[in-house]
Amino acid sequence: MFTATLLTNPTLPSLDGTLVENLRNAWGGDTVHWLAVEEAAEFALPAKPDNLWEVWADLQKMGVDLVVQPTEGRRKKMLLADMDSTMIEQECIDELADEAGVGDRVKDITARAMNGELDFEGALTERVGLLKGLDQGVIAEVLAERITFMPGGKALLATMKAEGAYAALVSGGFTAFTAKVATELGFDENRANTLLVADEKLTGDVGRPILGREAKVQALKEITERLGFAHEDVMAVGDGANDLGMLGLAGAGVALHAKPSVAAECDIRINHGDLTALLYIQGYAKSEFAGL
């Protein structure tokens, strides 16, 4: 048995009931259940439709995300999340680079690295090198003035944790940022790279080993083994090429507002919804959300 979930941007809820019913009828689905009025709905299916991606593409033009997944086991026991452009709306290194006066150079490298055009480790060390000499205090300023949370994150963490789930933040960014974000949102642990500092200034280097794509996969393996979970029990979410390993290994890998080359490799693609989409696709109704 499968479940089809349709959802829209919660700030502009526009999911049409007729559209949902028509799709349910075309696919021979069961009764439609509304998870949030005009925002998210689901129905059961006997099999995965052959024309899924054609329908998905048509719905994207209407501002609607569509996810079809096995019904059994879709409510997960663990959340493994990327940070930059996933749990927060920015790329931390880009914000630091703006303060260092090298914003354009760094943003170009970041975009190419996240799209999989550059080796992550090499791209990270090159970008961090451009931050050499930046005052350590700028990190706190960026955190306070430039970093904003992705909508829906607090509800996602609070709701899953209320149901007993474990949450880990695993980033190719920096511990100075993940520590703050993890605390604010309620993650149980966080892993990231360490910016090296000497005489209260950034040295232009990071601690080794560098946490990249393989380290995120390793985090999934280590944490699930420690907690006695299967990989199928995990929902992973990210947007960049260095997230693909963990997205592929997790029971549910969600490409959230992801680079096209990344989304193309994932069965769960959220382009219009926010982080609450990760609750809807697990079958949570908005009335069940915690932390709102």
Q: Which residues are catalytic?
A: 82, 84
Helices and strands (DSSP H and E) totals, the chain:
12, 12
**For 211, how many CA atoms within 13 A lie in the half-sphere containing its CB?**
24
Angle at which helix 120-129 crosses helix 92-100, to 10 degrees, equals 30
CB of 55 closer than 8 Å to CB of 23: yes
Q: What are the residues facing 69 on neighbouring strands?
A: 3
In angstroms, rounded to a whole number, what is the distance separating the alpha carbons of residues 247 and 189?
19
Whether the bond between 209 and the residue before it is cis, its omega within 30 degrees of 0, is yes
